[in-house]
Structure 1
Amino acid sequence: MTMQRRVFLMTLAASGAVIGTAAQAQAMVDEKDPAAAGLGYVADAKKADAKKFPKYAAGQNCANCALYQGKAGDKAGGCPLFAGKQVAGAGWCSAWAKKA
């Protein structure tokens, strides 16, 4: 293997690692985002509007929702309702469904 080819392959591998890391660092959902606001999303479930969303019950949060894609203990994770963005594990929205 020539030196140029070796350097090229190492550069390519390093670039892939950087791109992979950037893809994992997704933005958080903004509570003011139209989709989030429509679902009553809040980053802190304790601030959910129980009058506007009577389905809300204490103890519900994104981390224990069937839609949450984060791992147990993660502070944030993906949600299919907000493609490409993360929700707070402590958050809540009106689409909350009990995890099986």
Structure 2
Amino acid sequence: MDKTRRTLLMTVAAGSAALAGAARAQAKLDEKDPQAVALGYVADATKVDAKKYPKYAAGQVCTNCALFQGKAADASGGCPLFAGKQVAGKGWCSAWAKKG
């Protein structure tokens, strides 16, 4: 393999690794984010205002929501409602839907 080709392949591999790392390093969703406020998001579901959100039931957390894009054991993961941000696995918002 010539030097130019080798350099190209190493550059592509390094770039791919950097992009993968950037995807995992998404910012955590701030409860004060306008979209989070609109959906009643809290990072700790035990702090949900049950009077304001009567749909909430104990045990509902992001990790058991149909929208959560992580694994059940993950501390945080993606959610299509909060693009580019990570929600807390133990969090909750009013869009919570039972995983089916």
For structure 1, the 5+ residue unaligned runs are none
Equivalent position of 1:90 in the other structure: 90
Q: Which moved more, 1:74-83 or 1:18-27?
A: 18-27
Deviations 1:53-77 (A, max 9, x none): 1111111111111111111201111
- Deviations along 1:32-65, whole A, 9 cap, x unmatched? 0011001110000001111111111111111111
CA RMSD of aligned residues (A): 1.2
TM-score by length of 2: 0.91
Divergent runs of 4+, >6 A? none
Residue 79 of structure 1: aligned partner: 79
CA distance in 1, matches of 2:8, 2:96: 48
Aligned-residue sequence identity (percent) comes to: 71
| SS of alignment partner, residue 86 of structure 1 | strand
Separation in structure 1 between the aligned mates of residue 18 and residue 9 of structure 2, nearest angstrom: 14
User: Distance in 2 between the 1:3 and 1:97 partners?
Assistant: 54
TM-score (norm 1): 0.91
The one-letter amino acid of 2:43's match is A
For the residue of structure 2 that corresponds to 1:49, the secondary structure is coil
Gaps of 5+ in 2: none
